[in-house]
Chains A and B, each alone.
Chain A
């Protein structure tokens, strides 16, 4: 089983739609969780950290479910500019970061 698993997609949604991605992790000792955004052949950029209580940043909401060992990212009112690959990243303590393979999102007019 992979340490971090994501549905590769693509998720095809129209502008204005709400879309959600999940990411499962296998290490129950994982303590830090992040969502990164990566445009095609560009560097990943931190979108948001994921906190235990859940957190929101504008149209983006991140949730953590420790019992089921997954994190989620919800995007409301999708924009064309949201089209990208979303990487789930997990870290256990002082260990290295583990990156998921990414979920591709395509927002169409």
Chain B
């Protein structure tokens, strides 16, 4: 079955530690996205990638980094510079950037700080 797979489902970060969230899709989509969701807030865009080997900062990119070396994969690293990382992280993809196509989401990763 085609879809987006995020792992792990739950992740704990120690202070000063970098952690990486995995996102893999087999939908052959060009565009991929990372969102952060906090209670009582809408989804906020962290980074997006319109095509392989390219990515752009979203609204809240500080303290995060990404790579897009393969079309299928768009991992997100939460660095120690992100002082408030506790949130629900959602990866998504769409056929193309800028079209009216719907977003397909992964099942999310809940990141908490120890």
Contacts and interface: CB of A to CB of B under 8 A. Distances in A.
Interface residues of A, number: 22
A43 B97 CA distance: 20
B45 A41 contact: no
Interface in B93-107: 97-98, 100, 102-103, 105-107
B107 A101 contact: no
Interface stretch (A14-22, A58-66, A69-77, A92-100): A92-100
A92 B110 CA distance: 30
A43 B108 contact: yes
A8 B39 CA distance: 11
Given A34-B102, A94-B97, A94-B98, A44 B42 contact: no
A42 B48 contact: no
B58 interface: yes
Contact of A101 (B40, B90, B106): B40
Given A41-B88, A44-B90, A87 B107 contact: no
A45 B103 CA distance: 8
B81 interface: no
Interface of A: 4, 8, 32, 34, 41-46, 49, 87, 91, 93-94, 96-102
